Structure 1
Amino acid sequence: MDFKDNILQLVERIEKQKDAIQTEEATKNAFIMPMIVALGYDVFNPFEVVPEMDCDLTKRGDKIDYAIMKDNKPILLIECKHCLQKLDLHSTQLSKYYAASNARFGVLTNGIEYRFYADLDKTNIMDEKPFLVVNMLDLSDSDIEQMKKFHKSYYNESEILSTAQELQITIQIKEILIKNFQSPGDEFTRYFVRCLNDGRSNPKLIEQYRPIIKKSIASVIGNVISDRLTTAMQVEESQPTQQELPDGVVAIDERRGIVTTQEEIDAYNIVKDILKQYVDESRIQYIDFKNYFAINLNGVFWWWICRLSLKPHSKRIGIPINGYGSCEWIKLESIEDIRKHQDKLKIGFDVALAAYEYDKNKSNNK
């Protein structure tokens, strides 16, 4: 099997076993060691993988869980946590180990989520933010290609560092754009104010333009999506009959690399049927993305109610929790199982409706 096949096989294992994993050691054995093997390293060869390697700057006996070696030097440090443990509180621990070694890369993982760090800002001082975050239960082809660069056969330090710099900047830009798309900040708004007012800007104009900019962004995104869907339908209609879509496929957007399946549409109709008691079902809409199928309120992607990932051997529904602080993924045996989680769907709908009402009131009060 090639690298991608090995990774997808590991994904299936994680889906089946994650609820049975009770300890950090079990996480290492079931999920993390197989990942190291998938990367081409022999976990039983001390010249390739060193478990519990000393990383002691404080004389407290600090040890990193795994160090991947090349030419007798560590190239990748791996700090492990239990598969149900959140990683947000543990990057400081990894950075301490990082400073005690000459490795250029570090990974913090719970076997499901992998956070890759480098020392782009200052050599031998681990960056505060990862340059790559991979969720094994929500993988994209791009994620697999980025992980493949750490494979024993393809490892090239300078190439990864160059890619890491670009990925880190990309992540930061996306965060800035998403934040400003949802709630345009002063500087973001000021740019448009100056463009439209011969370079002039003042607080009154910024407050006046802010809700207009937000509505304009939503409109542009909606139009882009609509245009692409229209183009896809036109292409489909223009295809000769011998080039019909495969069974189970409703639409293919080759430009975006997205395939919308009949199963996704059927799941969407189930969600609409459940939620129609709370809202006019015409307001329940969807947008298909490469990694998931999102069902939202009023066709606005950031007012999402739930997300669906309907892979052949791994079907899940994601519900927003803590506002939009995180997403709770629930395993489905079939799309009919969505009906078993009507209470969760109501939570997702309430989150989306609250976000909609908040944005509406904020705009009206400007």
Structure 2
Amino acid sequence: MEFSDRLNALAAKVANQKSAIQTEEATKNAFIMPFISSILGYDVFNPLEVVPEFTADVGLKRGEKIDYAILRDGEVQILLECKASVGHLKFEHASQLFRYFAVTNARVAVLTNGEVYQFYTDLDAPNRMDDKPFLVLDLADIDESIVPELRKLTKENFDLDSIISAAEELKYVGAIKRAIGEQFREPSDDWIKFFTSRVYGGAFTQKVREQFTALVSKASKQFLSDQVNDRLKTALGASGYTPSLDSQPAAVTSAPVAEKDLDRDTEVETTLEELEGYQIVKAIACSEVKPSRIANRDAKSYFAVLLDDNNRKPIARLHFNGQKQKYLGLFDENKVEVRHAIESLDGIYEHADAIREAVRRYRG
């Protein structure tokens, strides 16, 4: 099994079992040990490679333990500190990592709850762990750009020099991407002022700030919408798909993504890829009904496409969730879902007849 496939398999396991895991020990057994073995490639039952409950005396603290130490040639290379998957990771959880990092030969430290893995090194000061990770792996939303760097930490491809040399760029690029995402979700005063100063010549008063808060938020969502639709047009053109004469092609190819699709007040994060997939399903389905009747609802495990925004009228489900292997869920006459593996968004067009048939069953 390829590295990315193993990563996606573990991500699927975490998604399916997370609700049943309530303790730190259960998190270690169900998620973290499989990560060390199947992803990093180390034998968790070989004490020459992986030492659980690793002990090193730190100053006045005696007998303090770190959850796992990974060894190569008898030297500690990677330290892992684990927390229960039911909670979010906080920087104060890394206190033991800080102490151990300074007294071992480890150059990489990992703080994890089994779903999110934060990787640290010592870019800011030698032998002192940085307070910000240089790489963050979120199994609920895998960033494909970091997978090659993660591979360098595996037993087979371990390349510490390459990891450290790339760490600074990874650290800041990743942090900037996360900061931009936060600003799109909830713009700060500085972000609002930054854009206001470029389009408005007057004083930045409280009244102006309130006015432009809404305008900046709206412009941000429209920008994302435009990016989705530009990519959708490219996909439609590349696929060779031509809607039937009664399918209102202008509405299909140029209608912007509804703002509500990008403005859901929920923990679920809708991706551009899911919105593109939705627009393709909508393009196919509107040969049977008006485009306005095709709606979507995002959930943690799938993105649903519905007729009349009715859960009893499912057309399709997009199982993407940042994973390499994508699935298109389609429904039979008994509303039983069958998943079909697709290599890319263009694969949706191969199931156009089934999508139209689902719409015909509900349209009335």
TM-score range, shorter chain: 0.5 to 0.7
**Structure-to-structure mapping, 1:47-126, within 5 angstroms:** 47-57=48-58, 58-88=60-90, 89-126=92-129
- In structure 2, the residue matched to 1:32 is 32
1-side partners of 2:318 and 2:157: how far apart?
34
Counterparts in 2 of 1:6 and 1:173: CA distance versus 1, 3 Å:
closer
1-side partners of 2:153 and 2:217: how far apart?
40
2-side partners of 1:144 and 1:156: how far apart?
14
User: How high is the sequence identity, in percent, across the aligned residues?
Assistant: 39
Give the Å deviation of 1:45.
3.1
Counterparts in 2 of 1:59 and 1:211: CA distance versus 1, 3 Å:
closer
Over residues 27-50 of structure 1, what are the superposed CA-to-partner deviations in whole Å (9 max), with x where a residue is unaligned?
333332222222122223333222
Q: Is the 8 A contact 2:231 2:276 kept in 1?
A: no
Give the Å deviation of 1:186.
4.5
Amino acid at match of 1:36: I
- In structure 2, the residue matched to 1:217 is 220
2-side partners of 1:165 and 1:153: how far apart?
23
Matched, 1:132 2:142: no
Q: Is the 8 A contact 1:12 1:314 kept in 2?
A: no
For residue 159 of structure 1, give the secondary structure of its aligned residue in structure 2.
Answer: helix
Q: Which runs of 5+ in 2 are unaligned?
A: 243-271, 286-291, 306-316, 328-335, 339-364
The count of aligned residue pairs is 278
- In structure 1, the residue matched to 2:252 is none
Give the Å deviation of 1:170.
1.9
Counterparts in 2 of 1:218 and 1:135: CA distance versus 1, 3 Å:
closer
- Give TM-score, length-normalised by structure 2: 0.60
For residue 7 of structure 1, give the secondary structure of its aligned residue in structure 2.
Answer: helix
1-side partners of 2:217 and 2:22: how far apart?
46
Amino acid at match of 1:67: A
Give the Å deviation of 1:193.
4.8
RMSD: 4.3
Give the Å deviation of 1:52.
2.1
- In structure 1, the residue matched to 2:174 is 171
**Structure-to-structure mapping, 1:177-196, within 5 angstroms:** 177-196=180-199
Over residues 170-194 of structure 1, what are the superposed CA-to-partner deviations in whole Å (9 max), with x where a residue is unaligned?
2322233234334544544444455
- Give TM-score, length-normalised by structure 1: 0.60
2-side partners of 1:212 and 1:11: how far apart?
37
Amino acid at match of 1:7: L
Amino acid at match of 1:41: Y
- In structure 2, the residue matched to 1:237 is 240
Give the Å deviation of 1:107.
0.9
Deviating more after overlay: 173-182 vs 61-70: 173-182
For residue 158 of structure 2, give the secondary structure of its aligned residue in structure 1.
Answer: coil
1-side partners of 2:156 and 2:302: how far apart?
31
Counterparts in 2 of 1:314 and 1:202: CA distance versus 1, 3 Å:
closer
Over residues 113-172 of structure 1, what are the superposed CA-to-partner deviations in whole Å (9 max), with x where a residue is unaligned?
222122222222222222222233443544543321210121112221233222221232
Give the Å deviation of 1:12.
4.7
2-side partners of 1:65 and 1:20: how far apart?
21
- In structure 2, the residue matched to 1:150 is 153
Give the Å deviation of 1:51.
2.2
**Structure-to-structure mapping, 1:7-26, within 5 angstroms:** 7-15=7-15, 17-21=17-21, 23-26=23-26
Q: Is the 8 A contact 1:109 1:115 kept in 2?
A: yes
Amino acid at match of 1:174: K
Q: Which runs of 5+ in 1 are unaligned?
A: 240-255, 270-280, 296-306, 316-332, 336-366
Larger strand proportion, structure 1 or 2? 1
Amino acid at match of 2:151: K
Q: Is the 8 A contact 1:62 1:97 kept in 2?
A: no
Counterparts in 2 of 1:86 and 1:52: CA distance versus 1, 3 Å:
same
Q: Is the 8 A contact 1:24 1:82 kept in 2?
A: yes
- In structure 1, the residue matched to 2:42 is 41
Q: Is the 8 A contact 1:15 1:314 kept in 2?
A: no
Over residues 308-366 of structure 1, what are the superposed CA-to-partner deviations in whole Å (9 max), with x where a residue is unaligned?
74589999xxxxxxxxxxxxxxxxx959xxxxxxxxxxxxxxxxxxxxxxxxxxxxxxx
For residue 90 of structure 1, give the secondary structure of its aligned residue in structure 2.
Answer: helix
1-side partners of 2:235 and 2:211: how far apart?
37
